[in-house]
A and B are shown apart, each in its own frame.
Chain A
C-alpha cells in the first residue's frame, strides 16, 4: 500500500452525478472513477449492436495543435501522414518511440487548415502531451493539453443517427445555425469525418467515429455542457438509448477486432506485429520518430497478433498462455492479450501474440485456461462486422 500522500487524486467525470443517480457501478480507469456498467454489461452490449448506447468517455485525453506548421509537426511526430487529410477528416494514428514501439494509439481530427485535435488514451495523457510538445519544437504550432476542458460523449449503434437527428438543440457553427443546417450536415457526414456544431448555442465537435464496430458519433464539448447533452440524448432516445459502461465498451471493441493500449499495443510492440503496418506511412517524405526502426522491421520470429475463436463458454483471458499442442510437452508459443465470451457470437473470442509461423488462419492452437488446455483456432480479424 502506498501512503495517502502519494495517492494520485481521483478524477471524476463531469457526468459523475448523472451516473451515480443512474445507479452505475464504477471502476478505476487511469485514475478516473468511470462507470463500468449501469445494470448489465450484456444488455448494454446488445443495445449498441441492436439500437444505441450512450457512453461517457470524458476521461480520454484531447491535445490541440494550432498554428501554420501543425500538419508538418504531426507528420514528423506521428506514424501517419496527417498533412494528407482534409479539414473535417479524421485519421487513426500512432505515436511511436525511436525504437518503433507504440507509445499510444490516437485519433487525429483536422478541425481547420492550421489546427488539429489529437485524442489519446487517458492513461497516456501526460506522455502524449509531453512528446507532442517536444516533437513540435521548431515548428510554428502551439500544442495544448485541453483534456480538462473537453468532455466526450459517444452515441453508438444503428439507431444513433436517428436519435441524434431527433434530439432538439443542435445547430451548426456560424450563420444560419438551425436544426435544418444540422440535419443537412449529418446527412453529408461520412465515416471518420467531423464538423463544428452547436448544442444549445455552445460549440460541440460532432464526429462520426467510435470504438464499437457500429455506426455512431463522438461528441466533444465543454464539461459543463455534458450533462445537458447526455440528458437530451437519453430523453429523446427513450428505450432506444441505453447508458453503457466500460465493460460493454471492451467486449464491443474486442468483437470489432480493435486493439486496446496496454493489451494489444505497447512500448515493446512494433505496429506491424499488431497488424497496424498500414497505419505507418513510409511513403511520406521526411523523417518521423520511429522511422528507421520501422524500416528495419521487427526481429525474426517476433510474435504477431492473431484472432482466436474457441468452442464452449470458457473464455481465454488476458495473460493466459498459448501452446502449440494439448500435451504436457507442447511448446509455449504466445500469450492472450484480450478475451471474452462474445456476447454477439455466443462463443469465446480472444486476441493473442503468437509465433509468426503459427499465425495462419485455420491453425489450431491451445490455450491454458486455468489448468485446462482448450483448443482455439486462428481466425482473421475482426470477429464481428456489422451488416452493410
Chain B
C-alpha cells in the first residue's frame, strides 16, 4: 500500500511521489471517483518534454473526459503500460498500480501536503 500521507498533491487532483530525481504522477481517489469508470487513457510517450501546468494527456471515463496536467517541468521517462492496457486500474488502485507517468525533473516540486489536499477537497 502506498502511504498517501507521504505524497504531494496538486489542485488538479493529481498526486506526485518523489523517487530520487524522478516524480511518479497519478490522479487522486477523489478525481477517480468524480470521473467514474475510466475506460481510456492517453499518456505522453517516454521522451516527451512537459511543462508544468500544461495538458499532457487525457483520462476518459464512460461519462466524461479528464485532462492530465504536468505538475512539473521535465521529461517523461515512462508511461504506465499496465494502465494503458487496463484503464480500470485508475479506479481500483489510483495511488498504486494506477500511476500514470514518471517524469524526470531537474527541480522537484513542493506542492500541497496530504492534509492540505484533504482540506482543499473539503474532507
Contacts and interface: CB of A to CB of B under 8 A. Distances in A.
Given A314-B60, A315-B60, A340-B62, A40 B40 contact: no
Contacts of A12: none
A177 interface: no
Label chain A's interface by main secondary structure. mixed
Contact of A40 (B37, B42, B60): B37
A49 B91 CA distance: 22
B65 A247 contact: no
A251 B40 contact: no
Interface residues of B, number: 14
Contacts of A341: 39-40, 60, 62
A315 B38 CA distance: 12
Interface string B30-68: 000100110110100000000000000010111101000
A37 interface: yes
Contacts of B88: 42
Interface string B11-44: 0000000000000000000000100110110100
Interface string A281-318: 00000000000000000000000000000000111010
A42 B63 CA distance: 10
Interface in B70-123: 88, 91
Contacts of B37: 40-42
Given A40-B91, A41-B63, A370 B39 contact: no
A42 B62 contact: yes
A370 B58 CA distance: 10
A262 to B, nearest CB: 16
Contacts of A40: 36-37, 91
A41 B65 contact: no
A46 to B, nearest CB: 11
**Residue among B36, B42, B62, B63 with most chain A CB within 10 A:** B62
A25 interface: yes
B36 A41 contact: yes
A343 B65 contact: no
Given A40-B37, A313-B39, A247 B60 contact: no
Contacts of B65: 317, 370
A17 to B, nearest CB: 21
Interface string A32-54: 00001100111001000000000
Interface string A325-352: 0000000000000001101000000000
Contacts of A247: 36, 62-63
B43 to A, nearest CB: 13
17 contacts: A25-B33, A36-B63, A37-B36, A40-B36, A40-B91, A41-B37, A41-B61, A41-B62, A45-B62, A251-B62, A313-B60, A314-B60, A315-B40, A315-B60, A317-B65, A340-B62, A341-B40
Interface of A: 25, 36-37, 40-42, 45, 247, 250-251, 313-315, 317, 340-341, 343, 370
Interface of B: 33, 36-37, 39-40, 42, 58, 60-63, 65, 88, 91
Given A251-B62, A315-B40, 5 more contacts: A36-B63, A41-B37, A42-B39, A250-B63, A314-B40
Question: 5 tightest A-B contacts by CB?
Answer: A313-B40, A42-B37, A341-B39, A41-B36, A41-B62
